A and B are shown apart, each in its own frame.
Chain A
Amino acid sequence: MSWGSFVRSADEMLTLILALVTGALGGRFDARETWQQLYLVGVRSLPIVIVTAIFAGGISAIQVSAHVVRFQAYDAVGWGFGFVVFRELGPLLIGLMFSGRVGAFNAAELGTMKVTEQLDALRVLAINPLNYLVGPRIVAMVVMMTALVMVGNVFALLGGMLTAQVLVDVDPMVFWISLTDYVRPVDLFNGLVKAGLFGFVIGLVSCRHGLAVDGGAPGVGRAVNQAVVASALGIFCFDYLVTAILP
């Protein structure tokens, strides 16, 4: 990416954010569409989030167990696990999957609407696409991403406990006590802050790339590709910022 195109895309992004903030402050986001998006985003991503969470829990339990086995510190499994999953791996893996499921879908949908002139159709019906389409989608992604990480935490915990019991023979009760003894509410909260921010990044990036589609079906494919790549960069960047700012 050249410097000029970077400046241009940063400028576009700022214009988009500014227009959305104006729309949000004026209460101009379409309420019906927001409810519908909340439902659709939730339905679309719940199964994949649950599967991801169970495996993320399993993976974390395995990796923590590898340490624990070496140091014979079985009562630390729950702590290590809870910390890794709630604060880091849960939001991160669910965020990446959410970006693939919801973000990519969103970029494709808006891109298709752009190439088939449905966005222009909204404009000539005197409906602002930013307030009708984009705003509700971003709101829905922020809210649902936070909610899904909460649900995901529960399933990750189940996956982790099960894995720890089957593979390293850690009693679920021991696991649970060590988890509740050491993991603080702030760790959970930290993960949810990340989730909300990831939802915002995914929403903003996928909408921006969807709206910028040019050139038919190949353009839609390219936009989805760029959207998921840019979302992943955004996710890691915000992950770092939250970790550095909220210890």
Chain B
Amino acid sequence: MSAQTRVFLGNMAFVIKKMMGRKKTDRASRLRFWSALNDVGINSVFFIVITLGFVGTIMMLHGGYQAARIIGDSNLVGPQILPLMIRQLGPTLAGLMVATRVGTGMAARIGSMVVTEQVDALRLSNACPVNYLITPSWHAALVMVPILSIFGITAAFFSGMLTAYVVFETAPGVYADWSFVSGLDAVEALIKSISFGAVIPLIAGTCGLSTHGGSAGVGRATTNAVVLSSLAVIILDFFIGALILGLR
């Protein structure tokens, strides 16, 4: 294990310990939480709706062309892709997009504060950098990633419906057939998005705190944040998916 990996893991343990610890809530900490909600949630909505909107269209096009090729009828595609949107693509891609936008943003901001010694200034004024810089985003992501996933799924649903209608002349009522969607799909989506919300700020914040060495260091930290948090999303997606498949 390289020295850097050890520093990173040590920092991560420190961050987890601080995030779990009891802390008093006052006006200032509530303000930080609201501003994190704004950053993680409101500022990502547009990005997620656009990307997931593309995904809905892409899925419908794939499904429609394949169904037309193999069974000659693309009317059955809607009910088939809806569960997939809900339990897999919606939460996972929303998670990846949060890792991309919020994860890099956090690492860039915290990393810049580390190299300009603002984090040391926080420590000297007896304020915990984790409580200041990471915990608010962590709480915000736990709340917001599930909500963003719902926005994303909705966007994908409607863009898929539009594509079905325009390209394959499938009536919206035929497309929006929920008979294959089960409660388990919703549970899977919820578990996934909450876990993504929990790990992304943890990894990105740790990457930011582990920054060293000027502008090149900030670049490295930001890159690590997006790679590691995206990878965490993909790996969690696999294991949660496998777990739920076992319950079917």
Contacts and interface: CB of A to CB of B under 8 A. Distances in A.
- On whether A and B touch (CB less than 8 Å), the answer reads yes
Interface of A: 48, 51-52, 55-56, 58-59, 62-63, 65-67, 69-70, 83, 87-88, 93, 96-97, 99-101, 104-105, 107-109, 111-112, 115-116, 163, 167-168, 182, 216-222, 224-225, 228-229, 232-233, 236-237, 239-240, 243-244, 247
A47 B54 CA distance: 29
Nearest to B219: A108
B103 to A, nearest CB: 9
Interface residues of B, number: 55
A101 B227 contact: yes
B80 interface: yes
Given A108-B218, A232-B100, A221 B241 contact: no
A62 B245 contact: yes
Interface core residue of B61, B101, B109, B242 (most chain A CB under 10 Å): B242
Contacts of A99: 100, 226
Contacts, number: 170
A97 B230 contact: yes
Contact of B112 (A88, A97, A217, A229): A217
20 contacts: A70-B180, A70-B248, A93-B234, A97-B231, A104-B104, A108-B222, A109-B216, A112-B216, A163-B242, A182-B70, A216-B215, A217-B111, A217-B217, A218-B109, A220-B215, A221-B107, A221-B111, A232-B96, A233-B51, A244-B57
B55 interface: yes
B218 A218 contact: yes
B88 A59 contact: yes
Given A62-B238, A108-B222, A217 B115 contact: yes
Nearest to A111: B219
B131 interface: no
Interface in B226-245: 226-227, 230-231, 234-235, 237-238, 241-242, 245
B21 interface: no
A244 B223 contact: no
A218 B246 contact: no
Nearest to A228: B100
B234 A232 contact: no
Contact of B101 (A48, A93, A225): A225
Contacts of B238: 55, 58-59, 62
A33 to B, nearest CB: 19
A115 B58 CA distance: 40
Contacts of A70: 180, 248
A220 B218 contact: yes
Given A108-B222, A247-B61, A229 B66 contact: no
Given A63-B88, A217-B214, A232-B97, A100 B112 contact: no
A87 B51 contact: no
Nearest to A98: B227
B220 interface: yes
A224 B97 CA distance: 14
Given A108-B218, A229-B101, A218 B108 contact: yes
Interface string B148-172: 0000000000000000000000000
A236 B51 contact: yes
B17 interface: no
Given A55-B235, A66-B245, A217-B215, A96 B107 contact: no
Given A70-B248, A221-B219, A232-B47, 8 more contacts: A59-B238, A99-B100, A104-B227, A167-B245, A217-B217, A220-B215, A236-B50, A239-B54
